[in-house]
C-alpha cells in the first residue's frame, strides 16, 4: 500500500486542494495531505529539499523551483487561475473602483492599503509604479505578514482597501467585496501543480496532478472563486 502523499501549497489554493484531495481519496483510496502556508515560506521549504510529493504554487515560483531542480521536469500542470479582487471593511463607506480613474481616487483617499507577499501584491506595486503613485502612497502601504491573509487586515479595520486573490477573500466575515480590478488592469495569478523531485512515488503523484488539472473540476473552481486555466 502506498503511504499518504505529502503536498505543500500557498493559502490561495487551500480550499481547492482540500476538496480535490478528498474526491481523489474517495475515488482511489489514496490519502493526500496538503499543508497550506504562505507561498514564500512554502517555496523556501521546497527549495531546501524537503521530502514532498506534490507542490502547488504560483507559476513564477514554480518556474524558479523547476530551474533549480526541485521539481520533476515535465510534471507541471496548471490547475487554477486566481483573479485579484478589492475589499473594504464591512460597514465602511464603499468607494467606487469600477474604472481606472475611480480606483486611483480610492487609493489616494485610503488611510491604509493592504496587499499580499505573493505575486498579486507585486503586480499591485508595479501598477502603482506605472501610475507614479508608489512614492505618494508608500507610507500607507501595508504588506501582510507571511501566512496572514489580507482579508484579516481588512476585517480588523487595519486597512481601508485590501487587494488579494478572490479565493482568499471569500468566506471571511467583516469585509465587503468591492469587485475585481477594473477592465484592462486585471491581475490574475496562475497556480500550478507539480511533482517534487524528492517524491518517492513520482508516478502516483503525477496521476494526482493530472487529475487535479482536468476540466471536470471546473465547477468546483468557480465555486471557490477561481477560474479554469486556459492553456
Domains of the chain (ranges, CATH numbers): 5-81+190-223 (3.40.190.10), 83-180 (3.40.190.10)
Taking the C-alpha atoms of residue 178 and residue 162, their distance in angstroms, rounded to an integer, is: 10
Task: Report residues of the chain scoring pLDDT below 50.
Answer: none
Q: In the structure grid, which three cell numbers stand for residue 63, read together?
A: 518556474
Helices (H) and strands (E) in the chain, counts: 10, 9
The answer to whether the beta carbons of residues 103 and 189 sit under 8 Å apart is: no
pTM: 0.87
CB-CB contact of 76 with 192 (8 Å): yes
Query: Cα angle vertex 126, ends 122, 127, to 5°?
Result: 120
Instruction: Specify the pLDDT at position 31.
Output: 97
The predicted pLDDT at position 231 comes to: 66
> How far is C-alpha 36 from the geometric centre of its chain's CA atoms?
11
Long-range CB pairs of 204-207 (<8 Å, 24+ gap) are: 204/2, 204/5, 204/30, 204/53, 205/5, 205/53, 205/54, 205/75, 206/72, 206/75
pLDDT of residue 11: 86
DSSP state of 71: B
Amino acid at each position: 500500500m502506498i503511504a499518504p502523499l505529502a503536498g505543500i501549497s500557498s493559502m490561495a489554493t487551500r480550499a481547492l486542494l482540500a476538496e480535490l484531495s478528498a474526491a481523489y481519496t474517495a475515488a482511489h483510496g489514496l490519502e493526500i495531505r496538503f499543508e497550506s502556508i504562505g507561498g514564500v515560506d512554502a517555496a523556501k521549504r521546497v527549495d531546501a529539499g524537503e521530502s514532498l510529493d506534490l507542490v502547488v504554487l504560483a507559476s513564477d515560483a514554480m518556474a524558479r523551483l523547476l530551474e533549480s531542480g526541485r521539481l520533476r521536469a515535465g510534471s507541471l500542470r496548471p490547475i487554477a487561475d486566481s483573479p485579484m479582487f478589492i475589499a473594504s471593511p464591512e460597514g465602511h463607506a464603499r468607494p467606487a473602483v469600477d474604472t481606472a480613474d475611480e480606483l486611483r481616487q480610492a487609493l489616494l483617499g485610503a488611510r491604509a492599503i493592504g496587499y499580499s507577499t505573493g505575486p498579486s501584491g507585486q503586480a499591485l506595486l508595479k501598477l502603482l509604479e506605472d501610475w507614479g503613485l508608489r512614492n505618494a502612497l508608500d507610507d500607507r502601504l501595508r504588506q501582510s505578514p507571511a501566512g496572514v491573509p489580507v482579508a484579516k487586515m481588512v476585517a480588523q479595520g487595519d486597512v481601508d482597501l485590501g487587494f488579494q486573490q478572490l479565493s482568499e477573500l471569500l468566506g471571511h466575515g467583516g469585509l465587503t467585496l468591492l469587485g475585481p480590478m477594473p477592465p484592462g488592469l486585471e491581475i490574475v495569478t496562475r497556480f500550478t501543480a507539480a511533482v517534487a523531485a524528492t517524491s518517492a512515488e513520482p508516478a502516483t503523484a503525477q496521476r494526482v496532478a493530472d487529475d487535479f488539472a482536468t476540466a471536470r473540476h471546473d465547477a468546483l473552481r468557480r465555486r471557490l472563486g477561481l477560474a479554469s486555466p486556459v492553456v
